[in-house]
């Protein structure tokens, strides 16, 4: 690995990996990771991969000392997973964040098997398969942090989200099992579970009268989560300051799940 000049606060020899990087959370998270890591591997698929490439060019202008590597990867494709594994062979990965996720809003009685499989595969199976790849790298060094993004709907139910709720609940419990199994390697596994995250894509829905009635009214703090709220939680959990934290589900819901 190319030697680099030391920068204040940056872990020069350590790498971070983000799967599903071109997302509302990813776009805000990656510049924060770039303040800490000089090597960052990012994955996306489909049209989002091209958009990620464009975004990385912007980040490179601001973080010239950071090496960004982008991989066109489908978390359900075995060859793509092998491609990720090979790309990490020479890297000391100490931080992994899984942001890939999908939801389909349908009543359970109308939900098809293909819908169920897609949601469970991306939200749950994809996390498991990519985490295994990361863990194999981490156990050869001094461990690290693995993080997944679940949801308040993995803790409490909401209508028209049967496979989504099931996948997120499974993700929370899977993280507990992996945290227990991999603790001997000093690999920490945690989950962040936000409420509805406000963004440009969904602000019209969340701020509508229907959104305020069905969603905002159930949040005691009367605030939706913002991407930076999730990023702050991720940056804490993957930091040395959380070195004793593993197998936990940090809920960022403004109080939704306490009611």
Question: Distance (Å, rounded) from C-alpha 70 to C-alpha 110?
Answer: 37
Q: Would you please indicate which residues are annotated as catalytic (active-site) residues?
A: 164
Sign of CA dihedral 99, 86, 236, 244: positive
- Assigned token pair, 142: 């001094």
Cross-strand pairs, 39: 15, 67
Question: Distance (Å, rounded) from C-alpha 50 to C-alpha 45?
Answer: 8
Strands (E), the chain: 11-19, 37-44, 67-72, 92-98, 144-149, 187-194, 249-252
What is each CA distance from 169 to 10, 136, 212, in whole angstroms? Answer: 34, 25, 25
Three-class SS of residue 168?
A: helix
């Amino acid at each position: 690995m190319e030697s680099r000049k030391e920068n204040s606060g940056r872990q020069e020899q350590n790498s971070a990996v983000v799967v599903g990087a071109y997302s509302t959370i990813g776009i805000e998270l990656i510049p924060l990771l770039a303040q800490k890591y000089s090597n960052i591997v990012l994955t996306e698929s489909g049209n989002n991969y091209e958009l990620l490439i464009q975004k990385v060019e912007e980040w490179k202008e601001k973080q010239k000392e950071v090496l960004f590597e982008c991989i066109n990867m489908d978390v359900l494709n075995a060859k793509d997973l092998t491609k990720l594994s090979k790309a990490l062979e020479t890297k000391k990965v100490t931080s992994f964040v899984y942001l890939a996720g999908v939801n389909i809003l349908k009543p359970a009685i109308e939900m098809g098997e293909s819908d169920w499989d897609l949601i469970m595969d991306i939200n749950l199976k994809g996390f498991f398969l990519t985490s295994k790849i990361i863990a194999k790298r981490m156990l050869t060094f001094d461990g690290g942090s693995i993080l997944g993004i679940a949801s308040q709907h993995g803790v409490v139910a909401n209508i028209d989200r049967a496979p989504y709720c099931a996948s997120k609940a499974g993700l929370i419990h899977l993280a507990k099992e992996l945290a227990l199994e991999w603790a001997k390697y000093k690999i920490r596994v945690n989950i962040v579970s936000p409420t509805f995250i406000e963004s440009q894509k969904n602000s019209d829905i969340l701020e509508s009268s229907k959104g305020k009635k069905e969603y905002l009214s159930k949040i005691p703090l009367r605030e939706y989560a913002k991407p930076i709220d999730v990023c702050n939680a991720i940056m804490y959990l993957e930091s040395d300051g959380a070195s004793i934290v593993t197998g936990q589900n940090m809920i960022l819901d403004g109080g939704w799940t306490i009611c």
